[in-house]
């Protein structure tokens, strides 16, 4: 069975994931460091991992594989999932790919370096309706690819 893993602690598209997973017959696995109030459904599984850096990421990365989709903003997690054969999407609809992940990791490292030197960097732009729409389109495309895997 195909699985839609959701890195849920700061994910703004959980409900969209649930609607798509239910429609296409995927299992939705919501992974977080604390309990989140979710709707109850047989296809939704909630996993609460211990608090700590990368604990949820490690849990997802150890399980995601070919035919699975991972929704995350975490670039190192996306890299690990791609290497395992899964697809990875940001909540704004941007799909990580083997061709794009290297520059995303490099950009992340540059940002971390600048912040460590005291530079002020901006965060991501506010999440809006266009992002939600782009995410749904990207998730539909990812589902088609996953079903072929």
- Total number of domains constituting the chain: 1
How confident is the model over 128-144, as pLDDT tens digits? 999 999 999 999 999 99
Decide if 11 contacts 27 (C-beta within 8 A): no
pTM: 0.87
Lookup result for tokens 């901006």: 122
* Other Cβ atoms within 10 Å of 93 Cβ, number: 18
d(CA 100, CA 64): 19
Neighbouring residues of 134: CB distance < 8 A, sequence distance ≥ 6: 92, 93, 94
CATH number at residue 120: 3.40.50
Domain that holds residue 30: 3-148
| Mean pLDDT computed over every residue of the chain | 91
Residue 122, pLDDT above cutoff 90: no
């Amino acid at each position: 069975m195909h699985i839609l893993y959701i890195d849920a602690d700061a994910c703004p598209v959980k409900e969209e994931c649930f609607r798509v997973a239910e429609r296409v017959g995927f299992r939705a696995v919501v992974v977080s460091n604390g309990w989140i109030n979710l709707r109850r459904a047989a296809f939704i599984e909630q996993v609460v991992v211990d608090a700590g850096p990368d604990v949820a990421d490690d849990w997802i990365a150890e399980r995601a594989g070919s035919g699975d989709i991972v929704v995350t903003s975490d670039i190192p997690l996306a890299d690990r999932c791609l290497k395992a054969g899964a697809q990875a999407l940001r909540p704004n609809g941007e799909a990580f790919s083997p061709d794009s992940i290297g520059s995303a990791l490099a950009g992340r490292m540059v940002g971390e370096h600048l912040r460590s030197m005291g530079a002020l960097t901006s965060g991501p732009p506010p999440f809006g309706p266009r992002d939600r729409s782009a995410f749904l389109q990207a998730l539909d495309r990812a589902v088609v690819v996953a079903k072929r895997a």
